Amino acid sequence: MRAKAVMVLGTTSGAGKSWLATALCRYYARQGLKVAPFKAQNMSNNARVVAPTVAQDVWLPAPQGGRDSPWDGPAVNPVAPTVGLHAAQRQNISGGEIGSAQYFQALAANAIPEVRMNPLLLKPERDTHSQVILLGQVDEALTRMDWRGRSEKVWPVVSAALDALMAENEVVVIEGAGSPAEINLSASDIVNMRVAEHVQAQCLLVTDIDRGGAFAHLYGTWAMLPAAQRALIRGFVLNKFRGDAALLAPGPQMLQDLTGVPTVATLPMWWGHGLPEEDGVFDMTPTLGTGVSSLPPEGAVPGLGRPGAAAGFTQGGTVAVVVYPRISNLDEFQPLKNIPGVRLRWVRSAAELQGADWIILPGSKHTSGDLAWLRTQGLDRAIAAHAQKGGAVLGICGGLQMLGEALIDPHGIDGNAPGLGLLPLVTVFDADKTVLRTEARFGELSGPWAALSGVTVQGYEIHHGQTAQHPAMAAAGDVARAVLTGGEGGHGGQGRALAWQNAAGNVLGLYLHGLLEDPAALQALFGGEGAAQVPTLDSVFDGMADYIERHFEPGVLQSLIDPPA
């Protein structure tokens, strides 16, 4: 089997590559084809944990480079540099982290998410530094390496992962990164046109017309590419269009006259597709859950409605998610956008916390740095005041660590810092990173989180920190109750503490990402009617496939995978 490769390139970041690639994955999967997504390198702090999987009939490598090789590992690794040893047998592929976009694309393709779909993940920790994840695992050698030097080191791994997916599937939908016309980076490219040429991908170039200058962006990107790479671009896509499409003429025809490339789709602006955004905040205006749109319905009044019983938001309420500079895994809050009566507010100042019923401290890729930012903004005092009045506070992963008394960093992983002091806990950063799919069961909770008592939930962990009760505070009688226990691999029962609650019951911190995506947790917190308004992922993916089928020119999507005439 040798797959057809369809690649989505963009004129800029945020043009719509991830969204369109996800829609294509579902579109082709609905044709009965075996589909897999691929993105060679993703830069995002939104990551998901994937379980180990297996591959069959793959090319296997010999060990490369001795003990100093940045991809040292088992002697048989189906995604390391290939040297021609073929084995028609099932081989284990390790689990680990991949970008959230490729995780959702795999689900849209009806495929099992795995590390080969995003072999290189960069997780920014500071403006000039990123943690490097290779094949799902942190690679310290590559993290220390210069970016341009790193590219050639990882290309054999990247290309081998892509070759394996091409051999095992009928269609591989590939997502580029940024723009393929960044001429300062082209010599070190491992994610755009080098990938396209490697598999002779049929490429779509998408642009965000809502930004303005779309025709110039498309023409300029095309013009900056060498002739051989231009030949791979099969169509232009205008994304996020608002208005009368007839007003675009004669632009598309003039662009085709200049480039020979047709405009194959004009996609209207669609706010409520339901797919989590890959990067950045969804929007900075209060959002009332409707199950349809990410914009507040006409006449909605922010702050209207209060939570009902401790069981959850039975009568509506406002959830404020604090957006610090190194926020991570924000995509897990997408379901809150769709629950009737719940207003999702992204906040960066103390004033924006006014009127919030819940405050959520999300994950962070640099907990000590984001704690310092909280204090600079005065958010630490505002969060403490909210908690002292009995307001609900939820900390997830890095947010849990912030809620404690102190961060201790003996290995130089994140940095030492005093915590917010809302939970009597202390976090010590470990050199090894915990990356797990996890199932866990809540014990007895009180306060606004009581409805979670006894609920079993599934999610994932990504953290260096190891958190425990502060010994001196325990001796003084200030004890955090461990209220969530679970284990590895989705099996549970291992007894590891994953969440703690304060004595008053209003402050809850947990390591488990995905709580607000879990159907059982949503049912408990928001009731059956509210949770039922959260669209299933399958319905989201099907809606996206329907959308592109309506708006692409007839026959274009099929032509991308048809053999040449």
Q: Give the per-residue pLDDT at 315.
A: 52
Q: Give the per-residue pLDDT at 532.
A: 75
Q: Dig out the tokens for 321 from the structure.
A: 């998610």
Q: Dig out the tokens for 66 from the structure.
A: 């001795």
pLDDT at residue 90 is higher than 90: no
pLDDT at residue 254 is higher than 60: yes
Residue 334 pLDDT grade (very low, low, confident, very high; cuts 50, 70, 90) = confident
Q: Dig out the tokens for 529 from the structure.
A: 């009617």
pLDDT at residue 224 is higher than 80: yes
Q: Give the per-residue pLDDT at 305.
A: 28
Q: How many Å apart are CA 410 and CA 414, to the nearest integer? A: 9
- How large is the average pLDDT for residues 236-264? 94
Over the stretch 378-392, which tens digit does the pLDDT of each residue have? 999 999 999 999 999
For 331, phi then psi, to 5°, come to: -65, -20
pLDDT at residue 110 is higher than 90: yes
Q: Give the per-residue pLDDT at 85.
A: 31
Q: Which residues contact 169 (CB under 8 A, 6 or more apart)?
A: 1, 3, 34, 35, 36, 111
Least confident of 5-14, 125-134, 161-170, 201-210: 125-134
Over the stretch 426-475, which tens digit does the pLDDT of each residue have? 999 999 889 999 999 999 999 999 999 999 999 999 999 999 999 999 88
Q: How many Å apart are CA 478 and CA 503, to the nearest integer? A: 8
Q: Give the per-residue pLDDT at 340.
A: 84
Where on the phi/psi map is residue 188: left (φ > 0), alpha (ψ -120 to 50), or beta? alpha
Q: What is the share, in percent, of the chain residues with pLDDT greater than 70?
A: 83
What is the average pLDDT score of the chain? 84
pLDDT at residue 350 is higher than 80: yes
- The residue that leads in pLDDT, 122 or 92, is 122
Q: Give the per-residue pLDDT at 23.
A: 97
Q: Which residues contact 484 (CB under 8 A, 6 or more apart)?
A: 440, 441, 442, 443, 497, 498, 499, 510, 512
Over the stretch 58-69, which tens digit does the pLDDT of each residue have? 433 433 333 333
CA distances from 453 to 44, 248, 446, 450 (A): 33, 56, 8, 6
- The residue that leads in pLDDT, 57 or 35, is 35
- How large is the average pLDDT for residues 294-301? 29
Residue 490 pLDDT grade (very low, low, confident, very high; cuts 50, 70, 90) = very low
- How large is the average pLDDT for residues 42-66? 64
Q: Work out the number of other CB atoms within 10 angstroms of the CB of residue 33.
A: 16
Residue 130 pLDDT grade (very low, low, confident, very high; cuts 50, 70, 90) = confident
Q: Give the per-residue pLDDT at 92.
A: 66
Residue 147 pLDDT grade (very low, low, confident, very high; cuts 50, 70, 90) = confident
Q: How many Å apart are CA 38 and CA 247, to the nearest integer? A: 36
Where on the phi/psi map is residue 138: left (φ > 0), alpha (ψ -120 to 50), or beta? beta
Q: Give the per-residue pLDDT at 430.
A: 92
pLDDT at residue 300 is higher than 70: no
pLDDT at residue 484 is higher than 70: yes
Q: How many Å apart are CA 305 and CA 315, to the nearest integer? A: 6
One DSSP character per residue, 28-55 reads: HHTTT--EEEE-SEEE-S-EEEE--EEE
Q: Give the per-residue pLDDT at 565.
A: 61
Q: Give the per-residue pLDDT at 271.
A: 75
Q: Dig out the tokens for 302 from the structure.
A: 């922010």
The amino acid at residue 184 is: N
User: Which domains can be identified in the chain, with CATH numbers?
Assistant: 4-272+540-559 (3.40.50.300), 314-534 (3.40.50.880)
* Element holding 121 (H helix, E strand): strand 120-126
Where on the phi/psi map is residue 280: left (φ > 0), alpha (ψ -120 to 50), or beta? left
Q: Give the per-residue pLDDT at 89.
A: 41
* Element holding 197 (H helix, E strand): helix 193-199
For 264, phi then psi, to 5°, come to: -100, -10
Q: Give the per-residue pLDDT at 238.
A: 97
Residue 279 pLDDT grade (very low, low, confident, very high; cuts 50, 70, 90) = low
* Element holding 379 (H helix, E strand): helix 379-388
Q: How many Å apart are CA 506 and CA 468, to the nearest integer? A: 19
Enumerate the β-bridge partners of residue 485: 441, 497
Least confident of 60-69, 180-189, 524-533, 554-563: 60-69
Q: Give the per-residue pLDDT at 467.
A: 94
One DSSP character per residue, 60-119 reads: EPPP-SGGG-TT---S--TTS---SEEEEEEEEE--EEEEHHHHHHHHHTT----GGGS-
Q: Give the per-residue pLDDT at 51.
A: 85
Under 8 Å between Cβ of 495 and 485:
yes
Q: How many Å apart are CA 480 and CA 509, to the nearest integer? A: 10
- The residue that leads in pLDDT, 163 or 126, is 163
- The residue that leads in pLDDT, 494 or 435, is 435
Q: Give the per-residue pLDDT at 330.
A: 86
Residue listed under structure tokens 């749109």: 293
Determine if the peptide bond prior to 250 is cis (ω within 30°). yes
**Catalytic positions:** 397, 513
The amino acid at residue 206 is: V
- How large is the average pLDDT for residues 525-551? 87
Q: Give the per-residue pLDDT at 339.
A: 87
Least confident of 86-100, 142-156, 186-200, 258-272: 86-100
For 150, phi then psi, to 5°, come to: -65, -35
Residue 491 pLDDT grade (very low, low, confident, very high; cuts 50, 70, 90) = very low
Q: Give the per-residue pLDDT at 75.
A: 33
Q: Which residues contact 437 (CB under 8 A, 6 or more apart)?
A: 49, 50, 51, 95, 458, 459, 460, 488, 489, 490
Q: Dig out the tokens for 373 from the structure.
A: 């930012």
Residue 287 pLDDT grade (very low, low, confident, very high; cuts 50, 70, 90) = low
Enumerate the β-bridge partners of residue 321: 346, 360
- How large is the average pLDDT for residues 348-370? 95
* Element holding 439 (H helix, E strand): strand 425-442
Q: Give the per-residue pLDDT at 346.
A: 93
One DSSP character per residue, 254-305 reads: HHHHHHS--EEEEEEP-TT--PPPSSS-S-SS-EE--SS-SSPPTT--TT--
